[in-house]
Amino acid sequence: MGETNDPIESLLVREDPNFSDLVAEFVDGLAGRIADMEQAMRAADFEQLRTCAHRLKGSGGGYGYPLLTEYAASLEQSARQQAIDACEEQIDEIKRICDRVVVTVQT
């Protein structure tokens, strides 16, 4: 990936600004999704973690953030394998990505 801190904009909003409110709701909910993943991780509930990752994998791309989909897919696979170290690293990376996610409407 690299050490960039550049904002990550929604491809969906770039295509159609009318989706900006909907995408903003998704972005606002990312902190809760991360909290759910971290809670599952603390409980070593790999099935719940896999489910959370699977949901983020689908919605990330749907809302125009394919990078989230990519990392969520990796987390889903690691959770399926119960690879705790990999899961922790992937959750940390997803958190870094979410910190960069923005909703920008081009005018």
pLDDT for the residue 1 = 44
Can you give the pTM of this predicted structure? 0.90
SS (H, E, C) the chain: CCCCCCCEECHHHHHCHHHHHHHHHHHHCHHHHHHHHHHHHHCCCHHHHHHHHHHHHHHHHHCCCHHHHHHHHHHHHHHHCCCHHHHHHHHHHHHHHHHHEECCCCC
Token readout for 75 is 């987390």
- Domains of the chain in start order, with CATH, are 16-101 (1.20.120.160)
pLDDT for the residue 2 = 46
Residue count of the chain, please give it.
107
pLDDT tens over the chain, length 107 residues: 445 789 999 999 999 999 999 999 999 999 999 999 999 999 999 999 999 999 999 999 999 999 999 999 999 999 999 999 999 999 999 999 999 999 987 65
